[in-house]
Chain A
Amino acid sequence: MRRVRVAIVGVVLATGVGLSAADQWPQFRGPQAGVAPDDPALPDSWSETENVIWKATIPGLAWSSPVVWNDHVFVTSAISSGTEAAPVKGLYDPGAEQGSLRSSAAHRFMVYDVDFATGKIRWELELRRVPPPIAKHIKNSFASETPVTDGERVYVRFGTIGVLEAFDFSGKTVWTREIGAFNGPQQFGSASSPVLHNDRLYLVSDNTTESFLAAYDKRTGAELWRTPRQENESWSTPLIWENEVRTEVVTTSRNKVRSYGLDGRALWELGGMTVNVVPTPLARHGLLYVSSGYPGANPRPVYAIRPGASGDISLKPGETNNQYIAWYQPLLGTYNTSALVYGDYYYTLLDRGFLVCHDARTGREVYKRQRISAESTGFTASPWAYNGKIFLLSEDGDTFVVQAGAEYKLLRRNSLNEMALATPAVARGSIFVRTQSKLYRIGKPPR
């Protein structure tokens, strides 16, 4: 009897029958900005061997995140045919050239479909084999955009080669669009991921050549509209904000946050952002949270924004709120990590290894900066949460587990002993952690 039940579960997993959207992790940070549904099957301890269901070697270098749909785990990569400068951990100063590097070696721009159950690569697809036409920051990769999927197709952007492409789940190309390989003024490369909403795919490309926000028909790839933008550099993924008033496309970039209607029309804007905007906006408790935090800038803002705004909602000098800005923290923004709102709290993972907690609704400080570990070199992956715990993946490949709530308490550290910058995915009792060379499926072994 028991054997039969296991077999049925296996069939369900393999076919995806009975799985809901909540069981999937279709985009960067998942459907709830890093918050996964509670699940007693999810472990909170692991190592290179403990609670590892499988690990797969993914060639090349990519800081894009895995996405999961039914029995498919999709990842991208860029595989160099030459020798590239190795990425260095930590928030470090790359020196006179500011870390911008070109590569003359041909790269294979790849998409992999990894089997959820076994970790075997089901199919792989080479989109292009060319030298990257644009430079990147030494710590960036040429495949930093996370794919997005709707369960029928997977949509992949490689900003490095200016390609947006859709595949079906068998690896067959459905459509391709050449959107241009553009760079910003600092030549740091690309990272903003595409996002899906209903039948459309939205994409931001901020660069010095032709900045735009565009919407595409997800079935055909036809460009439905394109709105020019004044921003020339960002790595932030836009947010589709479904709020009580309307649905908006929120973009954060150098200097300005801009929100657009689903027709591409500008709704409102907000000044005061830093340069080098990476964190992705998120929404919770009826508020939109946007931030930026280049460490050499002041202020490094976090704004909590109410829906319904129009025009310029920027704070005037001395203001900390207004009709649409519920609260503002001038020095809370992070450089690379995106914030986590879990329960009543807004958690900030500072890149240099501190966790700070604020009341998500009011911005009131709940606890001050807490040092996570004196040995950590830095944090780039965004935090995630489930089962009353917060998970913080360092660039060393250590995941620090912290209890959620008003009191900071470090519970444990799980080490994979390899550099990690990609934000993990969580789906159906498993965590998918991507390190520099491997993709782990972490989960409790079947009993």
Chain B
Amino acid sequence: MTRRRRPSAVLAPLSAALMMVAGGGAATAQGLKFEAVGSLPGPYEAMRVDGTRAYVGAGRTLTIYDLSTPATPKRLGSYTFAEQVWSFRVAGPTAWVGVNFSGLAILDVSNGAAPVVRGSFKTPGQAKAAAVAGTKALVVDHMEGLVMVDLANATKPVGLGSFFVEGYARDVVASGKYVYGVDSPTGLYVFDFSKSGPPEPVLSLQTGNNLRSVEVSESAHLLVAVGGGTLQPYDIANPAAPVQLPGYRTPGGAQRVALRGALAYVADGREGLQVVDLATPAAPRVVASFKTDRMARDVAVGDGIVLVAQGGPKEKQDVVVLRQIP
């Protein structure tokens, strides 16, 4: 790996971020507890929480739920695409959806009861995920790699070129003007979206961890990728030059992660939900857990709530709504 920062320089921002998220006092992370208060019906393939809403993708359909009362989630509406929804990200009124060979779809979710597609862009192969920074998106395409799309006019997105990754592109996430992409097995790619022209990484790190998904915590200056059952954190205090931190193998084998500050909420397979404190990068530790009935495969975190998708490919699938006990 590349250079390592001095421990103190890494720890300071992470600790501060943890205190912010936990409401003051790092000790509170130890006291995290959850209770199951509700559920969403399965099956599912992808899941996000944004504000008081949950978004669940299953097959060709993305369904929106109101979680204002977590114990009784209310289905608001749904949108059925022409093809499979692989993954998506949501920010306020817009969801960017990877719709297989149909490409990237820009879904207006401002009216949860009647989401509507504002625009779409066909990538060369299978669109599987997307992240947006400013007016540009980076789309994961299984065949092509990472495809950049100009969304200045959302009704008429324009392709800006692509970057071929050595392995299979898996996921992308945005933070400020930077977009981070992962592929398996090769590693992490950093793109500066303030630059014009086709996508060209400003940095790539070879990790060999078979990375599958990636999330970011701006407050904790953390980027966490998941691959091979392991959390692979990066310090992004300098967002253009992530520094790889020690990987952490979770008890059940991490499937996906959601971040709140320096806490990593991990869908941890047969071990259910595991919450890993990454505030001390050299010593990640599990600070809370919740045993699900079936294999935990995905996780999303909102204010005071955690959604855990459970059920393997041949099991009953649903989403457990957990309330964080104060």
Which residues of A come within 8 Å of B, CB atoms?
88, 90-93, 95-96, 295-298, 331, 352, 354, 369, 371, 374-375, 377-378
Given that A95-B84, A96-B313, A369-B164 are contacting pairs, would A377 and B186 also be in contact in the complex, using a CB cutoff of 8 Å?
no
- Given A374-B124, A378-B143: 4 more A-B contacts, CB < 8 Å: A90-B124, A92-B101, A92-B125, A375-B124
Q: Does B66 contact A (CB under 8 A)?
A: no
Is B255 an interface position by the 8 A CB rule? no
CA distance A298 to B142 in the complex (A): 17
A371 to B124, CA, bound (A): 14
Contact A295 to B125, CB < 8 A, known contacts A90-B143, A96-B313, A378-B143? no
| Cβ B143 vs Cβ A377 within 8 A | yes
Asked whether, in the complex, the Cβ of A352 is within 8 Å of the Cβ of B144, the reply is yes
Does B181 interact with chain A (Cβ within 8 Å)? no
B51 at interface, CB cutoff 8 A: no
Question: Contact: A352 with B210, CB < 8 Å?
Answer: no
Whether the pair B167, A92 counts as a contact (CB closer than 8 A) is no
A-B contact list, 26 entries, CB within 8 Å:
A90-B124, A90-B126, A91-B142, A92-B101, A92-B126, A93-B126, A93-B142, A96-B313, A295-B166, A295-B168, A296-B184, A296-B185, A297-B167, A297-B185, A298-B166, A298-B185, A298-B186, A298-B208, A331-B166, A352-B145, A352-B164, A371-B164, A374-B124, A375-B124, A377-B143, A378-B143
Q: How far is the CB of B159 from chain A (nearest CB, A)?
A: 9
B128 within 8 A of A: yes
Q: Which residues of A contact B210 (CB under 8 A)?
A: 296
The 3 closest A-B pairs by CB, nearest first: A298-B185, A90-B143, A93-B142
A296-B167, A296-B210, A331-B166 as given contacts; A91 in contact with B143, CB under 8 Å: yes
Instruction: Return the CB mask of B128-162 against A: 1 if under 8 Å, else 0.
Output: 10000000000000111100000000000000000
Residues in B neighbouring A295, C-beta threshold 8 A:
166-168
User: Which residues from 184 to 220 on chain B have a C-beta closer than 8 Å to any C-beta of chain A?
Assistant: 184-186, 208, 210
Report the separation of the CA atoms of residues A352 and B125 in the bound assembly, to the nearest whole angstrom: 10
| Chain B residues, Cβ within 8 Å of A378 | 125, 143
Instruction: Report the minimal beta-carbon distance from B121 to chain A, rounded to whole angstroms.
Output: 14
Residues of A within 8 A of B101 (CB): 88, 92
Beyond A96-B313, A296-B185, A298-B186, is A354–B125 a contact (Cβ under 8 Å)? no
Chain B residue contacts of A297, Cβ below 8 A: 167, 185
- Minimal Cβ-Cβ distance residue in B for A350: B164
What is the interface size of chain B, counting residues whose CB is below 8 A from a CB of the partner? 20
| Of A93, A298, A374, the contact of B128 (CB 8 Å cutoff) | A93
Which label, helix, strand, loop or mixed, suits the secondary structure of the A interface?
loop
Note all chain A residues with C-beta closer than 8 A to B145.
352
C-alpha spacing A295/B166, complex, angstroms: 7
Q: B residues engaging A (CB < 8 A)?
A: 84, 101, 124-126, 128, 142-145, 164, 166-168, 184-186, 208, 210, 313
With the chains together, A93 CA to B171 CA distance in Å? Answer: 14
Chain A hits for B166, CB < 8 A:
295, 298, 331
A397 to B21, CA, bound (A): 56
Name B84's closest neighbour in chain A (CB-CB).
A95
Contact A352 B143 (CB under 8 A): yes
The residues of A that contact B126 with a CB separation of less than 8 Å are 90, 92-93
Minimum CB–CB distance for B200 against chain A, Å: 14
CB pair B143–A354 under 8 Å, yes or no, is no
Q: Which of B128, B143, B167, B168 has the most CB of A within 10 A?
A: B143
Q: B167 to A377, Cβ gap below 8 A?
A: no
Q: Which residues of A contact B186 (CB under 8 A)?
A: 298
Across-interface contacts of A375 in B (CB, < 8 A): 124
Q: Which residues of B contact A296 (CB under 8 A)?
A: 167-168, 184-185, 210
List B contacts of A298 (CB < 8 A): 166-167, 185-186, 208
* One of A92, A96, A354, A374 near B142 (C-beta < 8 A): A92
Q: B308 CB to closest chain A CB, in angstroms? A: 19
In the bound assembly, the distance between CA atoms of A374 and B125 in angstroms comes to: 11
What CA separation (Å) do A314 and B218 show in the bound complex? 45
Question: In the complex, which residue of chain A has the Cβ closest to the Cβ of B125?
Answer: A90
Q: Determine the distance from Cα of A369 to Cα of B143 in the docked complex, in whole angstroms.
A: 16
Distance in Å from the Cβ of A434 to the closest Cβ of chain B?
Answer: 23
Residues of A within 8 A of B128 (CB): 93
Least distance between A90 CB and chain B CB atoms (Å):
5
| B185, closest chain A residue (CB) | A298
B125 & A377 in contact (Cβ 8 Å cutoff):
yes
Minimum CB–CB distance for B211 against chain A, Å:
11
Q: How distant is the Cα of A266 from the Cα of B325 in the complex, in angstroms?
A: 65
Selected from B164, B184, B313, the residue in CB contact (under 8 A) with A354 is B164
Q: Shortest CB–CB separation between residue A345 and chain B, in angstroms?
A: 22
Q: How far, in angstroms, from A446 to B125 measured CA to CA in the complex?
A: 41
Chain B residues positioned under 8 Å from A93 (CB to CB): 126, 128, 142, 168
Assembly CA distance A11 to B143 (angstroms): 49
Q: Which residues of A contact B313 (CB under 8 A)?
A: 96
Q: How far is the CB of B130 from chain A (nearest CB, A)?
A: 16
- The chain B residue with its CB closest to the CB of A88 is B101
- Tell me, in angstroms, the Cα distance from A96 to B168 when the chains sit together: 16
User: Closest approach, in angstroms, between the C-beta of B91 and any C-beta of chain A?
Assistant: 25
Chain B: which residue is nearest A375 at the CB level?
A: B124
- Cα(A88)–Cα(B84), bound, Å: 15
| In the complex, chain A residues whose CB is within 8 Å of the CB of B124 | 90, 374-375, 377
A323 to B70, CA, bound (A): 67
Q: Which residues of B contact A331 (CB under 8 A)?
A: 166
**Are A91's CB and B167's CB within 8 A?**
no
**Distance (Å) between the CB of B185 and the closest chain A CB?**
4
Measured between beta carbons, the chain B residues less than 8 angstroms from A88 are 101
Report the bound CA distance from A374 to B122 in whole Å. Answer: 13
Closest beta carbon of chain A to B164's beta carbon, Å: 7
Closest CB in chain B relative to A170 CB, distance in Å: 45
List residues of chain B with CB within 8 A of the CB of A95: 84
- Once the chains are docked, how many angstroms separate the CA of A352 from the CA of B165? 11
The answer for the CA separation of A298 and B206 in the assembled complex, in Å, is 10
- In this complex, what residue of B is CB-closest to A93? B142
User: Distance (Å) between the CB of B163 and the closest chain A CB?
Assistant: 11
B1 CB → nearest A CB, Å? 16
- Closest chain A residue to B166, Cβ basis: A331
A375 to B142, CA, bound (A): 15
Bound complex: CA of A352 vs CA of B168, how far in Å? 11
Residues of B within 8 A of A352 (CB): 143-145, 164
Complex: how many Å from CA A251 to CA B125?
32
Q: Is the CB of B143 within 8 A of A92?
A: yes
Bound complex: CA A92 to CA B101 (Å): 9
Q: Please name all residues of chain B whose beta carbon is closer than 8 Å to the beta carbon of A92 when the two chains form the complex.
A: 101, 125-126, 142-143
A91/B125 in contact, CB under 8 A: yes
Q: Give, as a whole number of angstroms, the nearest-CB distance from A354 to chain B.
A: 7
